[in-house]
């Protein structure tokens, strides 16, 4: 075992202080800052430069969305369709791979990671997904390739050793049921890579997240890392007949607690918009805590385009509004962590 791995293993051994799971008595007084796809408000999302900046800004966890390549490698992309976040559409050698797929019940056209080997994907370059909202990030287009999950884990390990503080990863299994349906199940692969990296522990600095239910129940039998059930204001999981709004009822939280350590709601499910501003907190946090679940809302963004009307600063969607009010309201509601595209702002607001 090299010195980086020894240091990271030591951090993992003491990571009960970082994860605070699963005991309800260990809910965090100082919420975790989870860098959503890295510092994705300032660099092209899901790149190593975005993750490095997030760590430099003080993030406790960096969050990679995981999809699979044709040859079974985990790569980090928001979606398996990559034309919005890379220059693949400009690559003539891959023009013939433009296609349409049914992804979770929706027809999606583009280029898909499962049609590329890892070696091929490494020739493609990343770019900003929201160029009109984040023009400063556009300056970094083309500088990096798509990272693998192992590369993100290696970054977390080396930065944990350098900074002498545990930095966790928060992988999301994206479209897990879809990938299982094309012969690329995620759960065993993810369990294996976590074990290979010394992260098969309830106190490891890692959270496994998914919007579906069955992948979390399956991976629970394969490794001991903490799990988070993601929920949205509308709809429900694609693999079970449930609605998210019922899952976060007091009784629904008890059912989640049978296979997960926490719940990840849209932040508006904790602090709703009322009359164009921030309303009082809902019962979601207290109901989750009563069931022994941590609460990690997603995703706080600073731009006017993502804020309630009364928190906006002017009419330009790209300008920053009063995002600090959102952070403060969520911290005041007792959340155990939160996702942000601007981890530095979240750290500053946390104090």
Cβ–Cβ under 8 Å, residues 174 and 67: yes
Question: Residue 273 pairs with which residues in a beta bridge?
Answer: 278
* 167-208 tens-digit pLDDT: 999 999 999 999 999 999 999 999 999 999 999 999 999 999
Report helix, strand or coil for 289. Answer: helix
Q: Give the mean pLDDT of the chain.
A: 93
Question: What's residue 27's pLDDT?
Answer: 61
Sequence-distant (6+) residues with CB within 8 A of 298 are 34, 36, 230, 264, 265, 266, 267, 338, 339
Question: Residue ranges of the alpha helices (H) in 272-341?
Answer: 284-290, 323-332
Q: Is the pLDDT of residue 234 over 50?
A: yes
Question: What's residue 249's pLDDT?
Answer: 96
Q: What is the mean pLDDT of residues 309-322?
A: 98
Cβ–Cβ under 8 Å, residues 243 and 235: yes
Cβ–Cβ under 8 Å, residues 133 and 305: yes
Say how many C-beta atoms besides its own lie within 10 A of residue 188's C-beta. Answer: 12
Please classify residue 196 by burial: count the beta carbons closer than 10 Å to its beta carbon, then call 0-12 exposed, 13-18 middle and 19+ buried: exposed
Question: What's residue 105's pLDDT?
Answer: 85
pTM confidence score: 0.92
Measured CA to CA, the distance from residue 40 to residue 146 in angstroms comes to 14
Measured CA to CA, the distance from residue 114 to residue 150 in angstroms comes to 18
Q: How is 321-332 classified by DSSP, letter by letter?
A: --HHHHHHHHHH
Give the CA angle between residues 292, 298, 302 to the nearest 5°: 145
Q: What percent of the chain clears pLDDT 70, i.e. is strictly above it? A: 92
Question: What's residue 3's pLDDT?
Answer: 34
Q: Determine if the peptide bond prior to 336 is cis (ω within 30°).
A: no
| Domain architecture of the chain: domains with CATH | 3-80+137-350 (3.20.20.190)
Measured CA to CA, the distance from residue 184 to residue 187 in angstroms comes to 9
* 15-52 tens-digit pLDDT: 444 544 444 434 667 999 999 999 999 999 999 999 99
Question: What's residue 28's pLDDT?
Answer: 63
Cβ–Cβ under 8 Å, residues 163 and 172: no
pLDDT band of residue 104 (cuts 50, 70, 90) is confident
Q: Where are the beta strands (DSSP E) in the chain?
A: 32-36, 61-63, 65-68, 74-76, 99-103, 106-110, 168-169, 172-173, 208-210, 227-231, 262-265, 273-274, 277-278, 294-295, 337-340
* 127-160 tens-digit pLDDT: 999 999 999 999 999 999 999 999 999 999 999 9
Q: Is the pLDDT of residue 345 over 70?
A: yes
Give the CA angle between residues 57, 60, 64 to the nearest 5°: 95
Report helix, strand or coil for 338. Answer: strand
Sequence-distant (6+) residues with CB within 8 A of 339 are 34, 35, 36, 63, 264, 296, 297, 298, 299, 300
* 64-103 tens-digit pLDDT: 999 999 999 999 999 999 999 999 999 999 999 999 999 9
């Amino acid at each position: 075992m090299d010195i980086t791995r020894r240091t990271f293993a030591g951090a993992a051994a003491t990571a009960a202080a970082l994860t605070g799971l699963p005991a309800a008595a260990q809910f965090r007084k100082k919420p975790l800052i989870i860098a959503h796809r890295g510092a994705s408000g300032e660099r092209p999302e899901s790149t190593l430069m975005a993750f490095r900046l997030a760590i430099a800004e003080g993030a406790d966890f960096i969050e990679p969305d995981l999809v699979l390549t044709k040859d079974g490698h985990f790569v980090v992309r928001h979606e398996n369709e990559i034309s919005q976040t890379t220059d693949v559409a400009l690559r003539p050698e891959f023009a013939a791979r433009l296609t349409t797929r049914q992804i979770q019940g929706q027809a999606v056209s583009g280029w898909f990671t499962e049609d590329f080997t890892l070696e091929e994907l490494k020739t493609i370059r990343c770019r900003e997904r929201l160029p009109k909202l984040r023009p400063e990030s556009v300056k970094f287009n083309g500088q990096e390739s798509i990272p693998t999950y192992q590369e993100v884990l290696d970054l977390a390990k080396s930065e944990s050793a350098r900074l002498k503080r545990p930095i966790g990863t928060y992988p999301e299994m994206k479209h897990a049921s879809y990938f299982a349906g094309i012969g690329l199940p995620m759960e065993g692969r993810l369990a294996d890579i976590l074990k290979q990296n010394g992260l098969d522990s309830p106190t490891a600095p890692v959270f496994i997240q998914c919007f579906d239910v069955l992948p979390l129940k399956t991976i629970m039998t394969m490794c001991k890392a903490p799990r988070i059930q993601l929920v949205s204001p509308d709809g429900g999981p694609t693999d079970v007949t449930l609605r998210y709004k019922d899952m976060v009822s007091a009784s629904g939280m008890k059912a989640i607690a049978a296979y997960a350590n926490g719940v990840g709601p849209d932040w508006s499910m904790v602090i709703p918009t009322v009359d164009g501003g921030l309303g009082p907190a809902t019962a979601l946090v207290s109901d989750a805590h009563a069931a022994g679940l941590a609460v990690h809302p997603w995703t706080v963004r600073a731009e006017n385009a993502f804020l309630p009307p009364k928190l906006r600063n002017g009419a330009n969607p790209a300008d920053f509004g009063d995002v600090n009010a959102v952070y403060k309201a969520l911290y005041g509601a007792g959340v155990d962590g939160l996702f942000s595209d601007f981890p530095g702002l979240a750290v500053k607001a946390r104090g």
